[in-house]
Structure 1
Amino acid sequence: MLLVATPSFRSMVFSDESVARLEKLGELVMLDDPGDAEALVDALPETDVLIPSWGATPLTAEVLAHAPRLRLIAYSASSVKHFVTDEVFRRGIRLTQAGQAMARPVAEVSLAFTLMMLHRIHRFDRAMHSGAAWVGAIDTPPQHGITGSRIGVVGASRTGVEYIAMVVALGADVVVYDPYLTEERATELGVRRMDLDELLRTSRVVALHAPTLPETRQMIGTRELALMPDGSALVNTARSWLVDSDALLAELRTGRIDAALDVFDEEPLPLDSPLRGLPNVVLTPHRAAGTVECYLEMGTIVASEIERYVAGSPLQYELTEAGLARMA
């Protein structure tokens, strides 16, 4: 097995227990620089299982020509699109990843944002910190509880499903737009399917959990934002790809709707970004998945998947070529 990760990533993701589990399965070789293609190529000839990490070297045909024994790639984070090529599938190499670990913490942040938007906590906080008078600080759009509020979810992804479970449990009226969501699955989740326009027109909070695909590029633009009711809010912990950022900024400047954003077109978010000065916007620096528990769970998932592979059992989080095409 070849684990390619910086020492800081390894210490954050792979606990002593996870490392011990891997070492029980065979010799574990470690490389410290995921971007060092030459070192990777030198190590691949003896590698059966590759464990890449952030910044992984793209697995092109040229690179994989040096990996005659490689049968499994177990990515220790989420999206593999930046390094997995068609050549991986052409060679019959199996692929799994640890993105499920991120679903719960991202959903928790999306829920926290949802509650802030409904209760206007962000507006109160800004007003109090700015020195506004008491009466002025409470001059906000109406507050709402989550029970009985319609929450619109765009995308029943793994994170979307975790979020849906939370808001359903809290008594929200949850509607979902997702072309791949079946009526049977919607019933299982306790939600109703709805077309995007109607979802936007009728939801107090719209939470985005759709994947990054050509058809989702700026799916929320000027027309869609105009459909949202006065006082409603947009929550995005998924990808800025989903939103026309210029259109969102223009709408937010009117004060008509609120937003909570963890993702941006340009990261780090520029210091002079107009978003920073708006009282109706909550901003976090793309850290929705950044919990200690999330990172350690990624290492646990990798160890479990490789154990399943060695035992000849089905992989829990295997990615196929067709499945990858529908993922963020």
Structure 2
Amino acid sequence: MSSSDDHAGIARLAPASRPRTLVVMGERHFRDMFDAPRLHRLRHLCDVRGPLPAGSFHDGRVRAELGEVEVLLTGWGCPPLDDEVLAAAPRLRAVFHAAGSVKANIPPAAWQRGLVVTSAAAANAKPVAEFTLASILLEGRRTWRYVEGYRRHRDGDSAWRDLVPPTLNHGAVVGLVGLSRVGRRVAELLQPFDFTVLAADPIVDRDQAARLGVTLADLDDLLRSSDIVSLHAPELPETRHLLDRRRLALLKKDAVLINTARGGLIDTAALIDTCRAGHIRAILDVTEDEPLPADSPLYELPSVQLTPHIAGSMHGETRRLADSALDELERFLDRRPLEHQVEAAGLSTLA
């Protein structure tokens, strides 16, 4: 059954055996995700026990339920499933994560135990890609320069406009660092526009890139060639500070750097110096420390736009995540193949 708002209105037989289930996530995220139809569907599929939602594994009611629980439905705000939690849940068979990355929640012991783990990362990629596309198009128009110039001079026809760099939305080069779920979706969304799109990704071949309408390039060459660079790589030991001082210096004058992936991909000290010098503009939805310390120079730099990690699903958008998790749960109960299962072997390339 496909995800939609009318699940509750479709008559279906309940699963023969509804698994004992705990929902563990933040209260606000749960309220956003589970409207009445989705809550009805959850209760239809599962025997939901304990607090709804549970915010901690240390709550007495949750600890009492862990001994019987077979399924966890988790999301943002769920604490890690540490060894103590796993030991207290001997019947646990599966974790359906109604959010993106599972790395912070699922420890090695869970994989060793053979738990089924799924993620709603594919559903969460959609709003991130849309945010990125909007940023590319607005930055391509140099919108922030006109907003600031108009506000300061209050004269839309003033000579200050001659100081704004040329717009980029026709014939510019966009560089995607990483063809992750989000990177691939951004590549697809860019196809109707008049951009040349380059991509740097060590595990994607040229045929795969061509199907997305992008040309593979070495990372340094991509940085030298691109007018707008958007980061979509996972943060791994080998990608930490991927854009260091040397690589930031490769960017064109007045290039735009967009980061909706992970803050640690950029050397923050080097970025501050590069933006302070007026060499590039940075659009940062993620930073190396989150929240960013109140005394960070990034707040004060006019060439930096900061948003507090809002590119992913918010408010009603999070219902896609609930649908994804519930769809996977239904497939699991029906013994059908899962579409978004996370395997331990693939963790090294995931965000």
TM-score bin (small chain): over 0.9
| Residues 1:55 and 2:77 aligned together | yes
Match of 1:194 in 2: 217
3-state secondary structure, aligned to 2:321? helix
Residues 88-147 of structure 1 show CA distances to partners (whole Å, capped at 9, x for unaligned) of 1111110001122221111111111112222111111122223465322442122221x4
Q: Find the partner of 2:238 among 215, 232, 247.
A: 215
Equivalent-residue separation in structure 1 for 2:295 and 2:165 (angstroms): 27
The one-letter amino acid of 1:20's match is H
Q: 1:144 aligns with which of 155, 168, 172?
A: 168
Q: Relative to structure 1, is the Cα distance of residues 292 and 55 closer, same or farther in structure 2, using a 3 angstrom cutoff?
A: closer
Contact kept? 1:209, 1:236, Cα under 8 Å: yes
Note the C-alpha offset of 1:30: 4.3
Residue 129 (structure 1) aligns with:
151
Structure 2 length normalisation: TM-score? Answer: 0.88
Residue pair 1:122, 1:279 contacting (<8 A) in 2 also: no
- One-letter code aligned to 1:217: R
Structure 1 residue aligned with 2:307: 284
**Matched letter for residue 90 of structure 1:** Q
User: In the alignment, is residue 258 of structure 1 matched against residue 258 of structure 2?
Assistant: no
Helix, strand or coil: the match of 1:10?
A: helix
Alignment of 1:1-328 (within 5 A): 1-31=21-51, 32-39=53-60, 40-131=62-153, 134-145=158-169, 147-328=170-351
Instruction: State the number of aligned residues.
Output: 327
CA distance in 2, matches of 1:221, 1:26: 48
Query: Separation in 2 of the partners of 1:171 and 1:189?
Result: 15
Tell me which protein shows more helix as a share of its residues: 1
CA displacement at 1:281 relative to structure 2: 2.3
Identify unmatched segments of 5+ residues in structure 1: none
Partner of 2:13: none
User: Are the equivalent residues in 2 in contact too, given 1:74–1:96 (CA < 8 A)?
Assistant: yes
Percent identity, aligned pairs only, is 37
Counterpart Cα distance in 2 of 1:85 and 1:104: 27
Asked whether the 8 Å contact 1:240–1:263 carries over to 2, the reply is yes
Tell me the amino acid that sits aligned with residue 260 of structure 1. Answer: I
Cα RMSD between the aligned structures?
Answer: 1.8
Shift of the 7–240 alpha-carbon distance from structure 1 to 2, 3 Å rule, reads closer
Partners of 2:27 and 2:264 lie apart in 1 by 31
Deviation at 1:278, TM superposition (A): 2.6
1:64 is displaced (CA, Å) by 1.2
Does the 8 A contact of 1:124 with 1:138 survive in 2?
no
Deviations for 1:125-174, whole angstroms, at most 9, x for unmatched residues? 122223465322442122221x4221100010111111111112213211
TM-score, with structure 1 as normaliser: 0.94
Q: Which runs of 5+ in 2 are unaligned?
A: 1-20
CA contact (8 A) 2:22 2:54 kept: no
Contact conserved, 2:26 with 2:78, CA < 8 A, in 1?
no
Contact in 1 for aligned 2:125/2:185 (Cα 8 Å):
yes
Separation of aligned partners in 2, 1:9 and 1:143: 39
Aligned residue for 2:8?
none
Give the Cα–Cα distance (whole angstroms) in 2 for the partners of residues 201 and 150 of structure 1.
Answer: 10
- Asked whether the equivalents of residues 34 and 54 of structure 1 are also in contact (C-alpha less than 8 Å), the reply is no
Structure 1 residue 293: deviation in Å? 3.8
Query: What's the secondary structure of 2:249's corresponding residue?
Result: helix
CA distance in 2, matches of 1:276, 1:8: 27
SS in 2 for 1:211: coil
1-structure distance, mates of 2:217, 2:274? 24
